[in-house]
Amino acid sequence: MLQVRRLIDFITAAICSVLLLAMVVLVTWQVISRYALNDPSTFSEELLRFGVIWLSLIGTAYVAGKTGHMSVDLVKDLLPRKWQAALDILIQVAFIAFAVGVLIIGGMRAVNIAAQQYTAVLQIPMGAIYGSLPVAGVLTLVYSILNIIDLLQGRATKAPVGDDIPAGE
């Protein structure tokens, strides 16, 4: 399981990194074309909009896999240890329900509805943009299943950044 998680982490992080790099290049081009060339680029604005959608959804799945999502731990901290583990599993089950119901099923419906529509400038099928929903849903589903397996085996995954920083400081 650890190898599967590492592979999915690597691929997901690589996709997010490439998207972010492409977006930085596009923003740079947009600024140059608008202010230096006095001829605003229309394609870059549309690509940036779609890049933000894909990056946000894939990044959200990645963060869910690292259990780095925002949470209020007040109730969890008041519970006994065995109930904390049960709550952690319940949270992952909620992620699974959201991923399946909203992202995968709802996302596929959105893809089917928008498949015949095209973007204004680039003429990309809108289904390709809405495709980010089921892709993120599948990633979130796989990550949540891996998180439940890790919790049941006593290996809790936690995001490495910011765990030791108290709120408000």
24-70 pLDDT, tens digit each: 999 999 999 889 988 888 888 889 999 999 999 999 999 999 988 87
Residue 137 backbone zone (phi > 0: left; psi -120 to 50: alpha; other: beta): alpha
DSSP state of 156: -
Structure tokens at 30: 């947009």
161 or 30, greater pLDDT: 30
Model pLDDT for residues 93-106, shown as the tens digit of each residue: 999 999 999 999 99
Please, what is the end-to-end C-alpha distance for the chain in angstroms?
36
Task: Quote the tokens at residue 36.
Answer: 């230096």
Return the SS3 of 10: helix
Give me the residue spans of the domains in the chain. Answer: 2-152
Task: Give residue 165's pLDDT.
Answer: 47
Match 């049941």 to its residue by tokens: 152
CA 68/CA 80 separation, integer angstroms: 22
Percent pLDDT > 90 in the chain is: 56
The pLDDT of residue 79: 84
The percent of residues in the chain predicted with pLDDT above 70, rounded, is 92
The pLDDT value given to residue 113: 92
User: Is pLDDT at 11 greater than 70 in this prediction?
Assistant: yes
Give the pLDDT score at 140: 95
What would the mean pLDDT of 138-155 be, rounded to a whole number?
Answer: 91
Give the whole-angstrom CA distance, residue 9 versus residue 157.
13
Q: Residue 136's pLDDT is what?
A: 96
